[in-house]
Amino acid sequence: MEPLSREELLALGFSHVGEGVRVSRSATFYDISGVIGDGARIDDFAILTGHIEIGRQVHVSPFCFLGGTGGTIRLGDGVGFSTHVSVFTKSDDYQQRTDGPRDKVCGDVVIGDFTIFGAQCVILPGSVVGKHCSVGIGCVVHDTLPDGGRYVSMGIKSVRLP
């Protein structure tokens, strides 16, 4: 199947689409804005919403979710997302201890150049990941990770709240 054309991507809401961009017709876009850099690739069944700035040579694998509705997602050049990676700029407040509807936590997400994420990683609002990082399968990112870091999940454990 032929990828979406530059004209189709601009009509969806992107303000700039670089050269050699390949976006699957099976990807889904909701209320999208932002840019796509040269050589970027977005595969089947990826879902993108909100404001997203995609650098050059970025690869978004199948079944990824990029939610830029509570802030901006900025992906540097050469960023790679394996399958089922989710990026959130808005989330429920899981620390809230009151009854009723949960408050929302919002914040931009910035991913540095040439950083890669393994399958099923989750990147939460306000996260900043440096350049040249490798984030292993199933990691949850919720803070700032410095340039060049290597991160792996240490498994699940029970947490007792006060």
**Given a cut of 90, is residue 148 above it in pLDDT?**
yes
pLDDT bracket for residue 100 (50, 70, 90): confident
Q: Any idea where the domains of the chain sit in the sequence?
A: 28-93+115-145
Confidence of residue 155 (pLDDT cuts 50, 70, 90): confident
**Superfamily of structural domain 28-93+115-145:** Hexapeptide repeat proteins (2.160.10.10)
Q: Are 88 and 105 in contact (CB under 8 A)?
A: no
pLDDT score at 160: 75
Look at residue 161 in the predicted model and tell me its pLDDT: 72
pTM: 0.93
Please state the rounded mean pLDDT for residues 136-149: 96
Span 126-143, average pLDDT: 96
Rounded mean pLDDT, 19-33: 98
**SS3 sequence, 3-22?**
CCCHHHHHHHCEEEECCCCE
